[in-house]
Structure 1
Amino acid sequence: MQPAVYLFVLCLIAESWSLKCWDCRSDSDPKCADPFDNSTVPIKDCRQEPDLPHLPGVRPTMCRKIRQKVHGQWRYFRSCAYLGQPGIAGDERFCLMRTGTYNIFMEYCTCNSKDGCNTGALPSLNWPTLLFVSGLAIAVTWSSSFVL
């Protein structure tokens, strides 16, 4: 395997280890609700999240957004997520929805496509990493063409 391919894989792994998620609750910051306004909301590095006593050895690997309606009041929660998979069957465009008795509704969305993906926006590419790796791959390919 080419060194550039190793570096590319390493960059992807490093990105997944350092996922950052918005962390807020609409009951304490109304800007956490939809439409989301992150001007006062912190983004948290999920590596800094504490271990949970009831989930030993499990670390957060995704972001989540929870939207719930309880007795007519909407609440929003955004944070790092410890369990589950992104979206539904891996598709982050879909969220898990539940309806209960007594006017209770919940929507649970998870993602890990990029930092801050729990805004609800569509995923995008990490352009600086992509450009760096592409440039490196071209340089390695160009330099290896001179080796006989």
Structure 2
Amino acid sequence: MKLTVSSVTTSLVSILFSVKYASSIFCYDCNSAFDPRCGEEFDHFNLGVVNCSLKDPIDHIPPMESTFCRVIKMDIYGKVRVVRKCGYVADDYKMNSCKRQTGTGELFVTYCSCNTDLCNSSSKCDRDLAILSILSLLAVYLFKTSF
């Protein structure tokens, strides 16, 4: 079999495109403010799934490819909003876990990140949030009983 420049070029281009496709991640993309199926009682049926590597770049950050999915749960004065989307800038907490932050007043935000296709459904993030809540309550209980 004789190798030609054309066949080598075609092979290299094919490999490059397959690697690009293989490195993409698929995430749910929705906001419970506009679609209640995106909320805490997540219903993935007919919800938007996006290939994050094909999304337009975000204006407020340097151009980069999304490598993970994210769920952001905001509890603001008792009203809950859930946003599921592609993630671009990794936070300083561990991937495939959640981080809860408290703001002023009654503002609570939970960020969950994961790096497998369609991982930003509610079950994984709810489980992590439940574990985080139980550990927090246990820490408060142990602290109070020790004094």
What interval of TM-score do these two structures reach, taking the shorter chain for normalisation?
A: 0.5 to 0.7
Structure holding more helix per residue: 2
Counterpart of 2:112? Answer: 109
- Give per-residue Cα distances to partners, 1:77-132, cap 9 Å, x unaligned: 000011115x9323x1x2011011120000000111x210001345xxxxxxxxxx
Equivalent AA in structure 2 for residue 39 of structure 1: F
Equivalences, count: 107
Cα distance in structure 2, aligned partners of 1:80 and 1:33 = 16
| Amino acid paired to 1:107 | T
Deviation at 1:43, TM superposition (A): 0.4
* TM-score normalised per structure 1: 0.64
Identity within the alignment, %: 32
- 1:88 aligned to 2:124? no
Shift of 1:40: 2.7
Q: CA deviation at 1:13?
A: 7.5
Distance in 2 of aligned mates of 1:53 and 1:98: 25
Structure with max Cα Rg: 2
Distance 2:47 2:102 in 1: 28
- Among 93, 96, 101, the alignment partner of 1:98 is 101
Gaps of 5+ in 2: 1-17, 125-147
- Measure, in 2, the Cα distance between the counterparts of 1:12 and 1:96: 31
Q: Is 2:22 the partner of 1:47?
A: no
Q: Report the RMSD for the aligned CA atoms in angstroms.
A: 2.2
List per-residue Cα deviations over 1:61-90 (Å, max 9, x = no partner). Answer: 1100000111110000000011115x9323
Unaligned stretches of 5+ in structure 1?
1-10, 123-148
Quote how far apart the aligned CAs of 1:14 are.
Answer: 4.9
Hey, which bits of structure 1, 4+ residues long, moved more than 3 A?
Answer: 11-15
